[in-house]
Amino acid sequence: MKKLVIATNNAHKLEEIKAILGNEFELLSLKDIHCDVDIPENSDTLEGNASQKSHYVYENYGLDCFADDTGLEVEALGGAPGVHTARYATDGHDTDANTRKLLHELEGKENRKARFRTIVSLIENGVEHQFEGIVNGEITTEKKGEKGFGYDPVFIPEGYTETFAELGVDVKNQVSHRSRAIAKLCEYLKKGAC
């Protein structure tokens, strides 16, 4: 079984990725490899941040690794929050504050089109491969639903009438930006030696 490090300690993200990848890989978190460093994410692109994280783990621990970075890109806000999605309102990953700020910024705007975009950077035997997943949708005018995390209560994916937080984890894992990027990663890995 192929061993892979997921460069995150975000419990929600770990759970989501493990559900998508299934039992074909032995997945290790940063905690599992005793990496308690706050890995820098100071690139101005999602691609750069994902790459920084995966390279850090590979270079410091010698383990094949993948990392992701996700951005919510809102059309009426010129693509914001984008690369600053997790720290949109504060430096502390305050999801409630981020959501409040987003809804405030969109007050009175008719165009509520948005997309979630995830970039996955895989370092395998020292070589980097990147995979992209996108889900289009729109931002609601208020929070709806109790499931999920982050911006899930205000994002309705295309083809649905409910937010990710209303649809729940099973549906989200089938249609989300992260699931689409991870599916491409998985397809690539299955073609390899695993």
Assess whether 96 carries a catalytic annotation. Answer: no
- In angstroms, the Cα distances linking 146 to 51, 134, 137 are 32, 23, 19
Distance CA 186, CA 147 (A): 25
List the one residue out of 144, 145, 119 whose CA is nearest residue 131: 119
Annotated catalytic residue within 36, 69, 152, 170: 69
φ, ψ for residue 99 (rounded to 5)? -65, -45
Query: Which residue in this structure is represented by tokens 């995966």?
Result: 54
| 125 dihedral zone (left: phi>0; alpha: psi -120 to 50; beta) | left
CA distances from 85 to 20, 35, 166, 184 (A): 22, 24, 21, 23
Distance separating alpha carbons of residues 38 and 55, to the nearest angstrom = 14
> What amino acid positions are annotated as catalytic residues?
69
